[in-house]
Amino acid sequence: MTKTVHRFAPYPIYDFEETTKWLEEMAANGYILKKYRTFLRTASFTKGAPQNIRYGITPKPKSIHRSLSSLEELTAICEAQGWHYMEKIENYCLFNTTDPQAPDLFTDQESYLQSLKTILKKQYRSVLLLLPCLLVYMYILCSSNWYYIIKNGNFFLLLSHWMIFIELLFTSYIPFLMETFYLRKYVKTVEKGEPAKSSKFHKTLHKITVWGAVFAVLSVYICLLFSFKQPAIQSIAGASEPFPFASIQDYYLQPVISKKDSDDNAVNYYKKTRSPLMPVIFDYQENASVHFADDVTDDCQLNVTYVETNYDWLAESILNDFKKNNQIFFSAVCQPLDIGEDDIETYYFIKNNVLYLLQRKDNIIVSSSLTYYLQYALDPEETARISAQHLK
Amino acid sequence: MPKKPLDTLTEPMFYVLMALAEGPLCGIDIAEFIRQRSQGQVNIGPATLYTILAKFEKETYIKEIMVEGRKRTYQITDRGLTAYQQEITRLQRCLNDAHMKGGISND
């Protein structure tokens, strides 16, 4: 049985000379390269008999032809001169040969420099393309209604999102940015014909990548764990909550909106504070879906969020869940929400001074299935007033 | 607007143009031509050759004329031929200068 050994690469892959020298030394000691991973710069080796293998790295050729891919052409030229294509590693191609007569992959400094510059250009482009993605994520985190989530005790939920952001930053963007910076420096060094000093840079980069990744991944999971351990919040959907494991009530029921909090009307206020991270549709199980939306009724000026589902069993389970939690249900005589139908069975219940409505009717959506509305009033003053009326 | 020609051709670049000036060839044949013509004195590595071909194609010194299996055959363009001839003239002038300075006679 062959033994596989994993090692951190001591040099960045763009330093072709040092990387191949290291791989050749490993082969001479009986460690034959099996797989090279650019993520965290690890290489897997198979332990065997020492071999004289030469390795070569080239930038991945850019495909500009439709007739024949550039990589195929490059591998054909390499094979004709005794080099075997091993694998593609991001922007690079790895070759090896056991033929001592085979010429080096690069036989002049000019072409080596030229290929490094090609990679550098690609790196610049990727750095610029990734930046807006990170900024958008950051904007979402900063502009959402996390205030309400923290207010309701789920601080760790917010923290876990920030940790995901930090993880992306530390494991992807910063290493990539630093690699680009060091590559630029390396290209300049090669251009001047000076000896490269890449190992020192690489060690810093490596430390940031590894510790950043470890810290961020651990933090995400710890935060999510604490998020689980928050004071029990009644979930209308049972145990099968979607990521990030917050109950629907976290998102929709707890942030009760008061008109006093804002000069704007309630709906604008609600829209303004609603996080883009909040999902519009939750898929629960077996294709059942619950759709969330928000609306303001003209009749009673209630700011409501409603839940609709095409599955009666799901609506029943939501209803039963409220019943199980000793929430008050009562049938309505009048309907504060006019949806233009007569055959609506409406239930009202109260929790935390909020009026909830469950309206049930047949064939409200163009389909043969049943549709149920579960509506939550979000204005405490209005709902208290209306609920008081109904309770009479 | 025509592109600015390459300032100078490196030795491998010069040999690649030399090979293609003789007729259309694919990358593998170019390497073989150079090895034979230089009697093994010039050996161009595959990555160097590929980089040069890609650069020449970008600079329109050469163009693809045929694809057969994994081989792409290139032909030198007028622009490439001009660059090649200019390089010969330049090298010739360098040689002449060297001979004159040292007082070396061709005879």
For residue A312, being part of any structural domain is answered with yes
Alpha-helical runs (H) found in A193-240: 198-228
CA dihedral A301, A303, A308, A312 (to 10 degrees): -70
Q: Given an 8 Å threshold on Cβ–Cβ distance, is A112 in contact with B67?
A: no
pLDDT tens-digit map of A235-273 = 333 333 333 233 334 334 333 333 333 344 433 333 333
Report how far residue A81's alpha carbon sits from residue A301's, in angstroms, rounded to the nearest whole number. 80
Q: What is the pLDDT of residue A367?
A: 20
Tell me, yes or no, whether A72 and A137 share the same domain. no
Of A67, A70, A103, the CB nearest to B45: A103
Please check the confidence at residue A352 and state whether its pLDDT lies above 80. Answer: no
Please check the confidence at residue B15 and state whether its pLDDT lies above 90. Answer: yes
pTM of the full structure: 0.58
Q: What is the pLDDT of residue B79?
A: 93
Tell me, yes or no, whether A92 and A113 share the same domain. no
Residue range A317-333: mean pLDDT, rounded = 46
pLDDT tens-digit map of A77-117 = 888 888 999 988 877 889 999 988 888 888 888 888 888 88
What does the block give as tokens for A59?
A: 């930038």
- Residue B23 near chain A (CB below 8 Å): no
Q: Which residues of A touch B (CB under 8 A)?
A: 56, 58, 61-62, 64-65, 67-68, 70, 72-78, 80-81, 83, 103-108, 110-112, 114-115
What fold, for B11-102?
Answer: Arc Repressor Mutant, subunit A (1.10.10)
Please check the confidence at residue A59 and state whether its pLDDT lies above 60. Answer: yes
B contacts of A65 (beta carbons < 8 Å): 64, 67, 72
Q: What is the pLDDT of residue B20?
A: 94
User: What is residue A10's three-state secondary structure?
Assistant: coil
Give the amino acid at A93: C
Q: What is the pLDDT of residue A213?
A: 72
Residue A180's Cβ-count burial label (10 Å; 0-12, 13-18, 19+) is middle
Q: Given an 8 Å threshold on Cβ–Cβ distance, is A108 in contact with B10?
A: yes
What does the block give as tokens for A123?
A: 């790196």
Please check the confidence at residue A303 and state whether its pLDDT lies above 70. Answer: no
Q: Given an 8 Å threshold on Cβ–Cβ distance, is A73 in contact with B28?
A: no
For residue A204, being part of any structural domain is answered with yes
CA dihedral A62, A68, A72, A73 (to 10 degrees): -80
User: What is residue B83's three-state secondary structure?
Assistant: helix
CA distance, residue B59 to nearest chain A CA (Å): 14
CA distances from B54 to A64, A91, B48, B51 (A): 9, 16, 10, 5
Tell me, yes or no, whether A256 and A383 share the same domain. yes
B contacts of A103 (beta carbons < 8 Å): 43-46
For residue A233, being part of any structural domain is answered with no
What does the block give as tokens for B30?
A: 């170019």
Range with top average pLDDT, A125-134, A301-310, A311-320: A125-134
- Residue B12 near chain A (CB below 8 Å): yes
For residue A368, being part of any structural domain is answered with yes
pLDDT tens-digit map of B41-98 = 888 899 899 889 988 988 899 998 888 888 889 999 999 999 999 999 999 998 888 8
Q: Given an 8 Å threshold on Cβ–Cβ distance, is B50 in contact with A106?
A: no
User: What is residue A379's three-state secondary structure?
Assistant: coil
What does the block give as tokens for A196?
A: 């490269």
* Bridge partners, A373 (sequence order): A308, A359
Tell me, yes or no, whether A121 and A171 share the same domain. yes
Q: What percent of chain A has pLDDT over 90?
A: 5
* A359, A315 contact by CB (below 8 A): no
Of A65, A75, A111, the CB nearest to B52: A111
Q: What is the pLDDT of residue B80?
A: 93
Tell me, yes or no, whether A114 and A213 share the same domain. yes
CA distance, residue B102 to nearest chain A CA (Å): 30
- Helix (H) or strand (E) holding A158, with range, is helix A155-168
**What's the complex ipTM?**
0.83
Mutation target vs B (from A16, A75, A77; most B CBs, 10 A cutoff): A77
Tell me, yes or no, whether A175 and A304 share the same domain. no
Last residue of some domain: A44, A64, A97? A97
Find the distance separating the first CA and the last CA of chain B, reported in whole Å: 46
Q: What is the pLDDT of residue A321?
A: 55
Tell me, yes or no, whether A151 and A174 share the same domain. yes
For residue A104, being part of any structural domain is answered with no
Number of domains forming the structure of chain A = 3
Nearest CA in chain B to A78: B46
Q: What is the pLDDT of residue A314?
A: 53
For residue A240, being part of any structural domain is answered with no
Last residue of some domain: A171, A195, A228? A228
Angle ∠(A83,A89,A90) on CA atoms, nearest 5: 135
Q: Given an 8 Å threshold on Cβ–Cβ distance, is B47 in contact with A78?
A: yes
Q: Given an 8 Å threshold on Cβ–Cβ distance, is A106 in contact with B48?
A: yes
Tell me, yes or no, whether A272 and A382 share the same domain. yes
Tell me, yes or no, whether A54 and A114 share the same domain. no
Q: The domain containing residue A223 runs over which residues?
A: 109-228
What does the block give as tokens for A143?
A: 């502009």
Nearest CA in chain B to A56: B47
pLDDT confidence tier of residue A28, bands split at 50, 70 and 90: very high
Of B44, B55, B71, the CB nearest to A107: B44
Mutation target vs A (from B48, B58, B60, B63; most A CBs, 10 A cutoff): B48
For residue A74, being part of any structural domain is answered with yes
Of A80, A83, A103, the CB nearest to B28: A80
A contacts of B45 (beta carbons < 8 Å): 81, 103-108, 111
Q: What is the pLDDT of residue A179?
A: 78
B contacts of A64 (beta carbons < 8 Å): 54, 57
Last residue of some domain: A198, A228, A258? A228
Tell me, yes or no, whether A323 and A360 share the same domain. yes
